[in-house]
């Protein structure tokens, strides 16, 4: 069996028949640039145009740290909000806080999250539910007096949170 030794390589072939394409893919191979792509085989510096700009990429950041020109998040954002997933605000504030202070939770966590079925046509509809987690109950067990609940995505459906209100 014949084989190629380059990009159109055939792992089942055992003889090089000479018809392999030896294509070179020119592009930016410099990780400092936005145009970087590891699939290129030959560096063409002319394709490296826009340097990465490191900074805070979240418009929700506090203290004026947000940089709208930043292309790579460097972890400098200060995200203050509800960090307790048992509250609805955790899901609908648009970000996950990175400043975990109980005082912030006292301020920003106001509404206890009610997770349940929000489909009015379903037999397990929960009128007070605000969050629907598209999962099914796999198991419940105890470990050191703590109740462990395992939820798995519903078969053949994507997992998601549906936030009401």
Average pLDDT, the chain: 76
pLDDT score of 43 more than 70? yes
Q: What's the per-residue H, E or C state across 27-84? A: ECCCCCECCCCCCCCEECHHHCCCECCEEECCCCCCCCCECCCCCEECCCCCCCCCCC
**Residues 57-73: tens digit of each pLDDT:** 999 999 899 999 999 99
Query: pLDDT band at 19, cuts 50/70/90?
Result: low
Return d(Cα 80, Cα 139) in angstroms, integer: 34
Q: How far apart are CA 33 and CA 71, in angstroms?
A: 10
Instruction: Kindly state the average pLDDT of the residues 12-39.
Output: 82
pLDDT at 83 over 60: yes
More confident residue, 10 or 85: 85
* Interstrand relation of 135-143 and 26-27 (parallel, antiparallel or unpaired): unpaired
**Which pLDDT does position 9 carry in this prediction?**
61
C-alpha to C-alpha distances, 110 to 35, 88, 152, 165, nearest whole angstrom: 44, 8, 28, 14
**pLDDT confidence tier of residue 124, bands split at 50, 70 and 90:** confident
pLDDT tier for residue 145 given thresholds of 50, 70 and 90? low
**137 Cβ partners below 8 Å, 6+ apart?**
149, 150, 151
Percentage of residues of the chain with pLDDT beyond 70: 68
pLDDT at 147 over 90: no
Q: What is the dihedral of CA 149, 118, 109, 139, to 10 degrees?
A: 0
């Amino acid at each position: 069996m014949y084989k190629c030794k380059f990009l159109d390589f055939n792992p089942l072939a055992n003889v090089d028949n000479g018809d392999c394409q030896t294509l070179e893919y020119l592009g930016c191979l410099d990780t400092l640039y936005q145009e970087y792509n590891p699939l290129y085989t030959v560096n063409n510096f002319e394709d490296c145009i826009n340097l990465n700009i490191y900074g805070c990429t979240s418009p929700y950041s506090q203290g004026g740290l947000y940089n709208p020109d930043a292309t790579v998040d460097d972890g400098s954002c200060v995200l203050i909000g509800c960090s307790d997933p048992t509250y609805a605000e955790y899901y609908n504030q648009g970000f996950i806080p990175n400043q975990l202070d109980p005082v912030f939770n006292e301020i920003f966590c106001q509404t206890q999250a009610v997770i349940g079925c929000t489909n009015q046509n379903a037999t397990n509809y929960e009128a007070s539910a605000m969050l629907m987690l598209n999962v099914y109950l796999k198991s419940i067990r105890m470990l050191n007096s703590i109740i462990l609940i395992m939820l798995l995505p519903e078969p053949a459906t994507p997992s998601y949170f549906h936030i009401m209100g």
